Structure 1
Amino acid sequence: MKLKYLFPLFIATVALMTGCADEESVSLLDEIQVSSSYVAIPEGGGSTTITVTAQDSWTAEKVTTEKNKVEWLTLSSATGSAGETELTFSAPSAIDGRTAEVLLHSGGKTQRINIIQGLTKISEARVAEVKAGPDGKTFRVSGVCTSIVNTEYGNWYLTDETGTLYIYGTLDKKGGTKNFLSLGLEVGDEVTVEGPKSSYKGDPQMVNVTVIKINKSLVRVDSVENEMLPVEGGEFTAYLTCKGQGVSVEIPEDAKSWLSISSIQSAGTNAVVKFKAAANTGGDRGTTLVFHTTDGAKDYTTETTLNQKGAIVKASVAEFLAAAVGDTQYRLTGVITNIANATYGNLYLRDFSGETYVYGVKDFKDKGLKVGDIITIVGKRAEYKGTPQVASAVLESIIPVTAATIAEVLTKPDSSQDYYMVTGEITSIADAVYGNLYLKDGDSEIYLYGCHPGYGATGDFRKNFLAAKGIKVGDILTVIATKSSYKEVPQLINGIYFSHESAQ
């Protein structure tokens, strides 16, 4: 039996023995004492009560971490008064053993209470069995590290013949976090880990695993040249260490039309594999290259990624709408006029030339975007039932826009970086060609130096917009602009039209 199994058993035994002592205080603190500093809760669920004796009021808190909130443990009270108080610890049934620590504070002193529920039972399993198993159960599983996505916390993928499992967090040899690189785990290594199974949005994973054993792969990628190839193509080189019987690689199906093997050279345990990529007339592309070797009985692998920049065309919305459906990437900048789906980022984007529907923006819900913000996206020209739209959009930049009254804008410092959305009544038009006018909101009025049809308007596109839209004195106009001053008089400049309401 391993020591780590003996230790919880010892704690449980001590806890049970201590709990049997009638009103015996095992604490040596004068300020706060407990009848038992070790508490055992039945594995099937239940409660255990101890007596707290304090000279003053006291508080209780569970020791938690970012990834372990100890939500399974319930305390009957988090506070108490001087004298004797019963404190009950409760927990539902546990799939595996678990432990926790509770701190009692009183009179500047702290009493620690160790909680144990059952004994940890580790089940050896394959990936498919882990994925089908209950959350909270501890498994030991072996496989090959096929991809590493985070080298600080140790997030990676483990694969065996039954499937692939995501590992969310890997502890170092001392049980610490954020020290993944100290383990020396690489793609292609065979590894055995232990840890609890959980789920994230329905997807199975193992969390904060302990590495039991690493069997280093006989082949690894030491370095690469031109990991990001230019749009015009070129040569990608992978330098490998191979301790097996030669090295081989195949071009993946998704890259055979544009990638080929130039040469494979070996000298001792060193190997150099060169690839040639054709010019890229479409969007960004990439592939995963898997290298193989063998010791005569077992296949070992390692992998690397190759990416190539695509041709990104900077375009107005009108130019984008006129383009053909395809993989060409377009860069568009404009104002968000409507958000149709706040989860996926389905929205409408408008510049001076027109408006288009964007069918989703990657990671939209994490960006904090809102109607009125000015964004730059890159995406493909697509369409749905004949209607043009942007597909596979990726957010490149954001200019946040703040809604403000005229009175609020008048108090702001001059800045060409801060954009405001302002609404007011047009009281007079000083220049109908460029859209210079006065806006009033309540008792506050401000001069707008230029009202343009949308973001990106230049030259003649800035002219005669008011007439084209039928905007006149008395209308309610909403614009996006920055605050400036002319001869110490505050004004809005370079106004971007957002909307208006006709007075008639």
Structure 2
Amino acid sequence: MKFRYLIAALLLSLATGCVQEKIGTLSEIQVSESYVSIDVKGGEDAIDIVANYDWEIDEASIPSWLTVKPNKGGAGEYHIVFSAPETKTTNTAELKLLCGGKTQYINVIQYAQKAELKVISVADALALIKAVDKGDGGSYNVDGEYCVKGVICKMIDMSVDYHNATYYISDDGKFDSDKSLQVYRGLGVNGAPIETGDEFAVGDEVTIICQLMSYKGTPETVQNKDAGIAAIITVLNKSLISVESIDPEDATIPSDGGEVSVTLKNKGNGVFVDVPEAAKSWLSISSIAGNTVTFSAKENMAGPRDATLTFRTTDGTKEYSTEAAITQLGATGSLALPFTVEEAIEYVTKLGGETAKDFYVKGIVSKIADKGEFGSYGNATFWISSDGVYNEDLSKDFEAYRVLWLDNKGWVEGNAQIAVGAEVILCGKLTVYKGTAETSGSKAYIYKINGVSSEAEGIGTLAAPFTAEGAIAAATAAPASNVYVSGTVSQIVNNGQFNAEYGNASFWISSTGAFNNDLAKDFEAYRVLYLGNRKWVAGDAEIAVGDKVMLCGPLTTYKGTSETVGNKAYIYSLNGKTE
């Protein structure tokens, strides 16, 4: 098999979608294609444009090896020809087509063929990645390019906006995190951008050309826009079975129960249906008529739930499969789907009195009522809103009236104190009093604060910051609030020290100062800014192992790693110093 870069290199700027316009969406100018491919032996390719104003291709963006005719004109229709002589190396260019104050980017590539590569299995690819992974949570690349064959076993994203796809492949077509390779932001067949979102699907067999890496322990293909690297599909063998349609189209069942039907295209012998074990208590097959399978869901009294259904067929020697994901809406006000502040206000206002059962409400503390902090009575009174702003508007402000502390217990001296900016989930009876939507006095409590239900490892406030373990627990809940995390720097991430170019740093912290190589104990400060929530500049103190830090910002998890959200958090204090 011959590997051709085709448009993989330059398409990355289109595939990641950063600042470029989508094809044909500009009112000032429309183009038939936004990429051009010229043979390595020399030749030409062309596109058609319709301009509503004077236009030109910025001469500074046209390289010496490329000829463009015409490269400017007035309003009207044009046929633009791109030509280049023979080359021994791959040439790429990103041209700027200017019209009416807007820019349409045209990607041009003259590709050179690569040496023939041996096709390897997914298992072989995983072995290569494992050999370079040092097990410290860092990112490590495997040298060279590889041709990997596998079956798509799980689809993460098919982005028609960014023109790329993220999915998993395995040797047997079954998803297992230990036996599957993630194809990260890969391109389509021969490097074509993802345009429709149905170019390939679970069950299809693919052969990809790629570079391999371990990203924080996850085996995946390399995607690097700046270096012009992405996985491309060279061979696509469609499955004998695929989903033709789903009714309803959004594959969503109401919370009070209902049905969803999946119609299949099947060129194999028979249809076999697999309902996940975890979904069998609420989802069942109600009928099979030809290639249409109908499923029935029971009433859902909790949060939203979903299931990925597998449909299999065979040609007598080999099994093929496809998948369909369905969702059942949850009951709002439940733990899994708490009321927003606005939903709680609307619900209890329509009710006009106290609720018969307990509900959950999520919001951010916006104001502490006068003498409303927790004290000798064991309860507190404060206001919450969806964004943490006190609006002085009873349609946006909900009162947590005389709520108890965590675990539905009265607050006692020594417990952490409530603070403005903390995200809370309240649980209890709701009511409305003189137009104010609120919790019923002493009949509700704080179920969670900043994502945790225990204060053993802190609650993420300035007065009671999270430990590393507390931040790890909170990150799973991804609270919307900015929280505080205290710890000791245990290891600097590869090239993670502060630098003047980006002004941020990445490092690990723990409660003891030791790097444990354990995601249950190590928390990553990912691309955090410096003291005062500003970029680090030359002359500022550099971060070092052993430093005592307190971080402030939002938390998240990424591929199992609990961390700060990149460039949204900062070092609040460094060895006791603040700014």
Give the alignment's TM-score, normalised by structure 1.
0.43
More strand by share: 1
Structure with higher RCO (Cα < 8 A, 6+ apart):
2
Q: Answer with 1 or 2: which has the greater Rg.
A: 1
TM-score scaled to structure 2, two decimals? 0.38
